[in-house]
């Protein structure tokens, strides 16, 4: 970092967990991270809300990211305790890896067993539609220190697999919801490529990730997926496809994207409720 603007005043994971435990002894069964423009689980009861700056010592810099952690219970099943992160820290903001992974490391420290990650992503797979939800089954890292160090050598390898019990559960929940109601679009599955940004990808880069067997591109989530490896916390991720890259079509208008994200958020909300409430039924 060349300036002091982002000199981390970040708290440690012990401090973060300490702050939470001073307010509530509820340990959530799952944490959900909501990416830009993604909205879900807005009606938790018994909610405790922590603004990012208070909790992590750092404020988000991106508009459209509220930047808060809510701990609460599902209205339809009060036994289900969930932590919902609205917004996250990104590398493109100038934050270092330590800050970008602080929330995830805090969830691990806190003993949260399951982490559901979401993001807004560009569709690279031309069979995708704006507003689709894609379960991330694998990813390509074009943003970590490993990528900076290895560069091309990392791209020569296959995408990193991240299918697990959680992603399989998301897929079957999606199947179920789609069978019950066709309005609930079938989930897509695919490989997510993470770039640092903040510039969008060039058309040649879109073509490159297509050749690398990726289905969507974005600027987040991979730090979290890399962080949970070998920890007691499992993670799965879902991309909301907010635009679809194609050669003969410019990026969709802002209105169209907003509308599609709203509909996608409603489906995502349904999906999370189904997953979280159901899991607790005995």
Partner 1 sequence: MKDWKRAKIFDFTGATDAGSTIKEFGESVTRTLREPSEEKLAIVLDTAYGLEGTAPVVVRDHINLSGFNPLIGPNHSIGERFPVVNDIYCADDSNGLTLKKVVAAGVKVGRSVDDSDLEFIRTLGAQCYCFNLVPTMLIAAHAGWKILAILGPAGTGWQKECLQKLGK
**Closest CB 54 distance from partner 1, rounded Å:** 21
- Whose Cβ is closer to partner 1: residue 12's or residue 61's? 61
Both ends of the chain: CA-CA distance in Å? Answer: 51
Residues annotated as catalytic are: 36, 65, 90, 92-93, 120, 219-220, 243, 254
**Closest CB 203 distance from partner 1, rounded Å:** 6
- Whose Cβ is closer to partner 1: residue 22's or residue 247's? 247
Interface residue list for partner 1 (CB under 8 A): 1-3, 5-6, 61-63, 91-94, 142, 147-149, 151-152, 155-156, 195-200, 202-205, 207-208, 211-212, 251
- Whose Cβ is closer to partner 1: residue 198's or residue 232's? 198
Residue 8, CA distances (Å) to 53, 58, 100, 105, 227 in order:
12, 8, 11, 16, 19
Closest CA to 196 of 174, 162, 221: 221
**Closest CB 260 distance from partner 1, rounded Å:** 17
DSSP annotation of 60 reads: -
**Strand bridging mode 45-51 / 68-74:** antiparallel
Backbone angles phi, psi at 139, to 5 degrees: -145, 160
Quick one: tokens of 140? 């390509």
- 179 strand-pairing partners: none
**Closest CB 219 distance from partner 1, rounded Å:** 8
- 240 strand-pairing partners: 120, 133
Separation of CA 276 from chain center: 16
- Whose Cβ is closer to partner 1: residue 57's or residue 94's? 94
């Amino acid at each position: 970092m060349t300036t002091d603007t982002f000199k981390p005043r970040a708290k440690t994971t012990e401090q973060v967990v300490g702050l939470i435990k001073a307010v509530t002894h509820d340990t959530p069964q799952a944490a959900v991270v909501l990416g830009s423009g993604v909205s879900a689980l807005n009606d938790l009861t018994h909610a405790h809300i922590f603004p990012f700056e208070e909790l992590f010592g750092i404020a988000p810099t991106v508009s459209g990211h509220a930047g808060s952690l809510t701990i609460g219970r599902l209205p339809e099943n009060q036994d289900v305790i969930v932590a919902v992160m609205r917004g996250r820290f990104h590398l493109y903001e100038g934050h270092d890896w330590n800050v970008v992974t602080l929330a995830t490391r805090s969830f691990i420290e806190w003993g949260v067993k399951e982490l559901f990650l979401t993001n807004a992503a560009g569709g690279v797979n031309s069979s995708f539609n704006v507003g689709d939800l894609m379960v991330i089954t694998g990813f390509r890292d074009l943003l970590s220190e490993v990528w900076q160090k290895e560069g091309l050598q990392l791209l020569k390898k296959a995408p990193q697999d991240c299918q697990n019990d959680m992603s399989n559960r998301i897929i079957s929940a999606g199947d179920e919801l789609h069978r019950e109601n066709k309005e609930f679009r079938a989930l897509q599955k695919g490989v997510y490529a993470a770039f640092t940004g903040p510039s969008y990808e060039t058309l040649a880069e879109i073509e490159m990730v297509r050749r690398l067997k990726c289905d969507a591109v974005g600027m987040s989530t991979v730090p979290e997926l890399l962080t949970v490896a070998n920890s007691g916390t499992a993670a799965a991720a879902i991309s909301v496809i907010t635009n679809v890259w194609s050669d003969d079509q410019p990026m969709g208008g802002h209105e169209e994207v907003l509308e599609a994200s709203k509909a996608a958020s409603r489906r995502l909300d349904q999906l999370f409720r189904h997953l979280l409430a159901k899991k607790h039924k005995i």
